[in-house]
Protein backbone atom coordinates (compact mmCIF):
# COMPACT_ATOMS: atom_id res chain seq x y z
CA UNK A 1 0.00 0.00 0.00
CA UNK A 2 1.51 3.31 -1.00
CA UNK A 3 2.41 5.83 1.57
CA UNK A 4 0.17 8.87 1.83
CA UNK A 5 1.42 11.52 -0.58
CA UNK A 6 3.80 9.06 -2.22
CA UNK A 7 2.43 9.68 -5.73
CA UNK A 8 3.26 13.38 -5.49
CA UNK A 9 6.81 12.70 -4.20
CA UNK A 10 7.63 10.17 -6.93
CA UNK A 11 7.34 12.63 -9.84
CA UNK A 12 10.98 13.85 -9.85
CA UNK A 13 12.16 10.35 -9.04
CA UNK A 14 10.33 8.97 -12.05
CA UNK A 15 11.81 11.61 -14.32
CA UNK A 16 15.27 10.84 -12.97
CA UNK A 17 14.71 7.12 -13.45
CA UNK A 18 13.61 7.61 -17.05
CA UNK A 19 16.66 9.77 -17.69
CA UNK A 20 18.95 7.11 -16.28
CA UNK A 21 17.33 4.45 -18.44
CA UNK A 22 17.76 6.59 -21.54
CA UNK A 23 21.41 7.21 -20.68
CA UNK A 24 21.97 3.52 -20.10
CA UNK A 25 20.34 2.74 -23.41
CA UNK A 26 22.64 5.13 -25.22
CA UNK A 27 25.68 3.80 -23.37
CA UNK A 28 24.91 0.28 -24.59
CA UNK A 29 23.91 1.16 -28.13
CA UNK A 30 25.92 -0.69 -30.83
CA UNK A 31 27.62 2.52 -31.97
CA UNK A 32 29.20 3.20 -28.59
CA UNK A 33 29.63 -0.18 -26.99
CA UNK A 34 33.03 -1.21 -25.61
CA UNK A 35 33.30 -3.80 -28.36
CA UNK A 36 32.84 -1.18 -31.05
CA UNK A 37 35.52 0.99 -29.44
CA UNK A 38 37.89 -1.96 -29.49
CA UNK A 39 37.16 -2.52 -33.19
CA UNK A 40 37.79 1.13 -33.95
CA UNK A 41 41.03 1.12 -32.01
CA UNK A 42 42.16 -1.96 -33.91
CA UNK A 43 41.96 -0.05 -37.22
CA UNK A 44 44.58 2.74 -37.16
CA UNK A 45 43.85 5.77 -39.26
CA UNK A 46 46.20 6.20 -42.19
CA UNK A 47 46.23 9.45 -44.08
CA UNK A 48 45.78 8.88 -47.80
CA UNK A 49 48.63 10.28 -49.86
CA UNK A 50 47.97 12.89 -52.49
CA UNK A 51 46.42 11.41 -55.58
CA UNK A 52 45.18 8.38 -53.64
CA UNK A 53 48.28 6.30 -54.44
CA UNK A 54 50.99 5.26 -52.06
CA UNK A 55 54.52 6.36 -52.95
CA UNK A 56 57.16 3.78 -53.76
CA UNK A 57 59.05 2.51 -50.73
CA UNK A 58 62.27 4.38 -51.38
CA UNK A 59 63.05 7.30 -49.08
CA UNK A 60 65.62 9.85 -50.14
CA UNK A 61 69.15 9.44 -48.94
CA UNK A 62 69.79 11.33 -45.76
CA UNK A 63 70.88 11.22 -42.17
CA UNK A 64 74.27 12.84 -42.63
CA UNK A 65 76.09 9.52 -42.18
CA UNK A 66 76.93 8.82 -45.82
CA UNK A 67 78.95 10.58 -48.49
CA UNK A 68 76.54 12.42 -50.74
CA UNK A 69 78.92 14.65 -52.68
CA UNK A 70 82.47 14.57 -53.96
CA UNK A 71 85.09 16.64 -52.27
CA UNK A 72 88.16 18.42 -53.56
CA UNK A 73 87.46 18.03 -57.29
CA UNK A 74 85.85 21.10 -58.81
CA UNK A 75 84.66 19.64 -62.16
CA UNK A 76 84.01 16.01 -61.17
CA UNK A 77 80.72 14.14 -60.80
CA UNK A 78 80.10 10.51 -59.87
CA UNK A 79 77.74 8.21 -61.74
CA UNK A 80 76.54 5.26 -59.66
CA UNK A 81 74.50 2.25 -60.78
CA UNK A 82 72.47 0.19 -58.32
CA UNK A 83 70.95 -3.29 -58.17
CA UNK A 84 73.05 -5.18 -60.74
CA UNK A 85 74.77 -6.89 -62.20
CA UNK A 86 72.11 -7.72 -64.78
CA UNK A 87 72.97 -9.85 -67.85
CA UNK A 88 71.00 -7.58 -70.19
CA UNK A 89 71.53 -4.05 -68.92
CA UNK A 90 74.93 -4.04 -67.22
CA UNK A 91 76.92 -4.97 -70.37
CA UNK A 92 75.14 -2.22 -72.32
CA UNK A 93 75.94 0.33 -69.60
CA UNK A 94 79.56 -0.80 -69.56
CA UNK A 95 79.79 -0.41 -73.34
CA UNK A 96 78.56 3.19 -73.12
CA UNK A 97 80.91 4.07 -70.28
CA UNK A 98 83.82 2.58 -72.22
CA UNK A 99 82.91 4.58 -75.33
CA UNK A 100 83.05 7.84 -73.38
CA UNK A 101 86.02 6.75 -71.26
CA UNK A 102 84.03 7.20 -68.09
CA UNK A 103 84.47 5.38 -64.81
CA UNK A 104 81.52 4.78 -62.54
CA UNK A 105 80.58 2.98 -59.32
CA UNK A 106 78.47 -0.19 -59.36
CA UNK A 107 76.51 -1.00 -56.21
CA UNK A 108 76.04 -4.75 -56.48
CA UNK A 109 73.41 -7.02 -54.93
CA UNK A 110 74.98 -10.20 -53.58
CA UNK A 111 72.41 -12.57 -55.05
CA UNK A 112 73.11 -11.12 -58.50
CA UNK A 113 76.86 -11.25 -57.98
CA UNK A 114 76.80 -15.02 -57.51
CA UNK A 115 74.55 -15.44 -60.55
CA UNK A 116 76.74 -13.33 -62.86
CA UNK A 117 80.33 -13.30 -61.58
CA UNK A 118 81.69 -12.68 -65.10
CA UNK A 119 80.01 -9.26 -65.10
CA UNK A 120 81.64 -8.37 -61.79
CA UNK A 121 85.02 -9.30 -63.26
CA UNK A 122 84.32 -7.11 -66.29
CA UNK A 123 83.25 -4.17 -64.11
CA UNK A 124 86.48 -4.42 -62.13
CA UNK A 125 88.65 -4.99 -65.20
CA UNK A 126 87.35 -1.79 -66.80
CA UNK A 127 88.43 0.20 -63.77
CA UNK A 128 85.05 0.89 -62.21
CA UNK A 129 84.57 0.99 -58.43
CA UNK A 130 82.75 -1.80 -56.62
CA UNK A 131 80.12 -1.13 -53.97
CA UNK A 132 78.42 -3.54 -51.56
CA UNK A 133 74.62 -3.16 -51.82
CA UNK A 134 73.70 -6.04 -49.45
CA UNK A 135 72.80 -9.60 -50.28
CA UNK A 136 69.04 -9.35 -50.79
CA UNK A 137 68.39 -5.58 -51.11
CA UNK A 138 66.29 -5.54 -47.93
CA UNK A 139 64.98 -1.96 -47.62
CA UNK A 140 64.05 -2.67 -44.00
CA UNK A 141 67.63 -3.47 -43.08
CA UNK A 142 67.81 -0.90 -40.21
CA UNK A 143 64.95 -2.76 -38.50
CA UNK A 144 66.71 -6.13 -38.57
CA UNK A 145 68.83 -7.66 -35.78
CA UNK A 146 72.50 -6.75 -35.78
CA UNK A 147 73.44 -10.27 -36.85
CA UNK A 148 71.22 -10.01 -39.93
CA UNK A 149 72.67 -6.63 -40.88
CA UNK A 150 76.18 -8.03 -40.58
CA UNK A 151 75.36 -11.11 -42.64
CA UNK A 152 73.76 -9.07 -45.44
CA UNK A 153 76.87 -6.92 -45.80
CA UNK A 154 79.57 -9.52 -45.08
CA UNK A 155 78.15 -12.14 -47.44
CA UNK A 156 78.01 -9.66 -50.31
CA UNK A 157 81.51 -8.36 -49.59
CA UNK A 158 82.92 -11.88 -49.83
CA UNK A 159 80.94 -12.65 -52.99
CA UNK A 160 82.25 -9.51 -54.71
CA UNK A 161 85.87 -10.28 -53.80
CA UNK A 162 85.51 -13.84 -55.10
CA UNK A 163 83.71 -12.89 -58.33
CA UNK A 164 86.05 -10.00 -59.15
CA UNK A 165 89.19 -12.07 -58.74
CA UNK A 166 90.30 -10.39 -55.52
CA UNK A 167 89.19 -6.78 -56.04
CA UNK A 168 87.63 -5.48 -52.85
CA UNK A 169 84.59 -3.20 -52.79
CA UNK A 170 85.35 0.33 -51.61
CA UNK A 171 81.85 1.54 -50.79
CA UNK A 172 78.60 0.46 -49.22
CA UNK A 173 75.15 1.75 -50.12
CA UNK A 174 72.11 0.99 -47.99
CA UNK A 175 69.10 -0.33 -49.92
CA UNK A 176 66.60 2.44 -50.46
CA UNK A 177 68.99 4.91 -48.84
CA UNK A 178 67.81 3.73 -45.42
CA UNK A 179 70.67 4.28 -43.00
CA UNK A 180 71.02 3.65 -39.29
CA UNK A 181 73.95 3.74 -36.87
CA UNK A 182 74.02 -0.06 -36.87
CA UNK A 183 74.14 -0.25 -40.67
CA UNK A 184 76.90 2.35 -40.89
CA UNK A 185 78.90 0.62 -38.16
CA UNK A 186 78.83 -2.72 -39.97
CA UNK A 187 79.91 -1.11 -43.24
CA UNK A 188 82.79 0.74 -41.61
CA UNK A 189 83.87 -2.44 -39.82
CA UNK A 190 84.79 -3.82 -43.26
CA UNK A 191 86.47 -0.60 -44.30
CA UNK A 192 83.59 0.36 -46.60
CA UNK A 193 82.72 4.01 -47.11
CA UNK A 194 78.95 4.67 -46.82
CA UNK A 195 77.85 6.15 -50.15
CA UNK A 196 74.66 8.12 -50.70
CA UNK A 197 73.66 10.42 -53.55
CA UNK A 198 72.71 14.00 -54.29
CA UNK A 199 70.88 13.55 -57.62
CA UNK A 200 68.03 11.04 -57.92
CA UNK A 201 66.11 11.15 -61.24
CA UNK A 202 63.85 8.37 -59.90
CA UNK A 203 64.67 6.09 -62.82
CA UNK A 204 63.64 3.22 -60.53
CA UNK A 205 60.05 4.33 -61.25
CA UNK A 206 60.78 3.79 -64.97
CA UNK A 207 59.80 7.21 -66.31
CA UNK A 208 60.51 8.06 -69.96
CA UNK A 209 64.16 8.45 -70.95
CA UNK A 210 63.73 12.14 -71.75
CA UNK A 211 62.49 12.78 -68.21
CA UNK A 212 65.43 10.92 -66.65
CA UNK A 213 67.83 12.95 -68.79
CA UNK A 214 66.20 16.26 -67.89
CA UNK A 215 66.14 15.51 -64.18
CA UNK A 216 69.83 14.59 -64.15
CA UNK A 217 70.99 17.54 -66.24
CA UNK A 218 68.82 20.00 -64.31
CA UNK A 219 70.26 18.90 -60.96
CA UNK A 220 73.82 17.86 -61.73
CA UNK A 221 76.63 20.18 -60.69
CA UNK A 222 80.31 19.78 -59.81
CA UNK A 223 80.61 17.33 -56.93
CA UNK A 224 77.26 15.61 -57.55
CA UNK A 225 76.71 11.90 -56.95
CA UNK A 226 74.08 10.64 -59.40
CA UNK A 227 71.89 7.63 -58.64
CA UNK A 228 70.94 5.36 -61.58
CA UNK A 229 70.00 1.69 -61.91
CA UNK A 230 71.13 -1.22 -64.08
CA UNK A 231 69.22 -4.00 -62.32
CA UNK A 232 65.79 -5.18 -61.13
CA UNK A 233 63.67 -4.95 -64.24
CA UNK A 234 63.60 -3.16 -67.56
CA UNK A 235 66.23 -0.41 -67.64
CA UNK A 236 65.86 0.55 -71.30
CA UNK A 237 64.86 4.10 -70.37
CA UNK A 238 67.91 4.52 -68.13
CA UNK A 239 70.18 3.23 -70.88
CA UNK A 240 68.62 5.58 -73.43
CA UNK A 241 68.98 8.51 -71.03
CA UNK A 242 72.63 7.63 -70.45
CA UNK A 243 73.28 8.03 -74.17
CA UNK A 244 72.31 11.68 -73.81
CA UNK A 245 73.70 12.31 -70.31
CA UNK A 246 77.29 11.28 -71.06
CA UNK A 247 77.90 13.66 -73.98
CA UNK A 248 76.03 16.43 -72.14
CA UNK A 249 78.37 16.10 -69.15
CA UNK A 250 81.37 16.24 -71.47
CA UNK A 251 79.97 19.37 -73.12
CA UNK A 252 79.78 21.00 -69.69
CA UNK A 253 83.39 19.98 -69.01
CA UNK A 254 82.27 17.75 -66.13
CA UNK A 255 84.40 14.67 -65.60
CA UNK A 256 82.50 11.55 -64.54
CA UNK A 257 84.61 9.51 -62.17
CA UNK A 258 84.43 7.44 -58.99
CA UNK A 259 83.96 9.10 -55.57
Name, in order, each residue with C-beta under 8 angstroms of 109's C-beta and a sequence gap of 6 or more: 83, 84, 133, 134, 135, 136, 137, 156, 231
229 belongs to the catalytic site = yes
Residue of 116, 137, 229, 230 marked catalytic? 229
Measured distance CA(70)–CA(73) in Å, rounded: 7
Measured distance CA(79)–CA(106) in Å, rounded: 9
Residue 173, beta-bridge partner list: none
138 belongs to the catalytic site = no
CA nearest neighbour of 171 among 98, 257, 108, 230: 108
Residue of 82, 83, 200, 203 marked catalytic? 82
CA nearest neighbour of 67 among 164, 187, 156: 187
DSSP 6-20: HHHHHHHHHHHHHHH
Catalogue the active-site residues.
Answer: 82, 229
Amino acid sequence: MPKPGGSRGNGPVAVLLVGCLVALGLAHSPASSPASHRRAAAQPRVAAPAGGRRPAARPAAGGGREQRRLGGRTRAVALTFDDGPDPRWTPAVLDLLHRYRVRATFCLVGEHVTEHPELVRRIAAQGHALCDHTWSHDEHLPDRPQATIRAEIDRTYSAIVTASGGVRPRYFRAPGGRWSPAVVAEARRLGLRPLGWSVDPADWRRPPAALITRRVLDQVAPGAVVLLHDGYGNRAATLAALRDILPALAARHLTATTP
